[in-house]
Chain A
Amino acid sequence: MKLKEKGFGILLTFCIMAVFWILLSGIFDAFHVISGLVCCAIVSIISHDLLVKGKSEKKIVKSLRLLTYIPWELWQIVLANIDVAYRVLHPKMPIDPLIIEFETTLRGEFSLVTLANSITLTPGTITILVDPERGKFLVHAIAKGPADALLVDQTMQRKVAHVFMETAVETEDTST
Chain B
Amino acid sequence: MVIVHGVVVVLLGAGVFFTLVGSIGLLRFPDFYTRLHATGKCDTLGGGLIILGAIIYHLFQYPETLLVPAKLAFLIFFIFIANPTATHAIMKAAYKTGVKPWRLGEERR
Contacts and interface: CB of A to CB of B under 8 A. Distances in A.
Interface of A: 23-24, 26, 77-78, 80-81, 84-85, 87-89, 93, 95-99, 116-117, 120-121, 124, 126-129, 138, 140, 142
Interface stretch (B1-9, B39-47, B56-64): B39-47
A89 B21 contact: yes
Contact of A96 (B87, B91, B104): B104
A140 B21 contact: no
Find the residue from B21, B36, B38, B103 having the highest chain A CB count within 10 A.
B21
A126 B36 contact: yes
**Which of the listed residues A24, A95, A99 has the most CB atoms from chain B within 10 Å of its own CB?**
A95
Given A23-B70, A24-B71, A126-B91, A120 B84 contact: yes
Interface in B77-109: 80-81, 84-85, 87-88, 91-92, 95, 101-104
B10 interface: no
25 contacts: A24-B71, A77-B41, A81-B42, A84-B38, A84-B41, A85-B42, A87-B25, A88-B29, A89-B21, A93-B29, A95-B29, A96-B103, A97-B33, A97-B102, A116-B88, A117-B84, A120-B84, A121-B41, A126-B36, A126-B88, A127-B88, A127-B91, A128-B88, A142-B34, A142-B37
Contacts of B42: 81, 84-85
Given A26-B67, A128-B95, A85 B18 contact: yes
Contact of A99 (B17, B40, B81, B101): B101
Interface residues of B, number: 38
Closest 4 CB pairs of A and B: A120-B84, A88-B25, A117-B84, A85-B21
A84 B41 CA distance: 8
B34 A97 contact: yes
Given A85-B17, A93-B28, 11 more contacts: A24-B71, A78-B45, A81-B46, A84-B25, A84-B37, A88-B38, A95-B34, A128-B88, A129-B92, A140-B33, A142-B34
A126 B93 CA distance: 13
Contacts of A99: 101
B13 to A, nearest CB: 14
B85 A117 contact: yes
B82 to A, nearest CB: 10
Given A77-B45, A88-B21, A97 B71 contact: no
